Amino acid sequence: MHKTAFILLVIGGLNWLLVGLFNWDIGSLFGGMDAIISRIIYLLVGLSAIVEIFGHKKTCRECVKRGDSSMPEGHQSGADSGM
C-alpha cells in the first residue's frame, strides 16, 4: 500500500510542477476535470496523501529509528537526510 501511495503522490507532485511551470495539467490528456478518468486519478492521489499521513510513522525510516511520536529534524525543516 505504501509503495502505491508513494507512486501516486509522485505523480500528483509532478502534475503540480507542470501546472506551476507551464500552466498545463496532465489531466488534460484524459479530457480535463470533466472526464471521469481524470477525477478518478485525482481522487486516488488525494487518498494516497491521506494514507501516507496516517501511515507515515510506520514506513519512515527516520521516524522508526527515532522511536517517538515527533518528527525528526530533517522532516521539520523540509530537508531529507536519507537521500
**Which pLDDT tens digit goes with each residue over 27-77?**
888 888 888 998 898 899 999 999 888 887 777 777 777 765 555 455 554
Q: Residue 55 has what pLDDT?
A: 83
- 33 within some domain: yes
- 74 within some domain: no
Q: What does residue 32 show for φ and ψ, rounded to 5 degrees?
A: 80, -170
Q: What does residue 34 show for φ and ψ, rounded to 5 degrees?
A: -80, -20
- 60 within some domain: yes
| For residue 7, pLDDT beyond 70 | yes
Looking from the CA of 19 toward its CB, the CA atoms found within 13 Å total 11
Q: Provide the domain limits for residue 15.
A: 2-68
Spatial CB neighbours of 51, under 8 Å, sequence gap ≥ 6: 1, 2, 5
State pTM to two decimals: 0.63
Which grid coordinates belong to 79? Answer: 530537508
Higher pLDDT, 17 or 81: 17
| For residue 78, pLDDT beyond 50 | no
**Count of structural domains within the chain:** 1
- 47 within some domain: yes
- 22 within some domain: yes
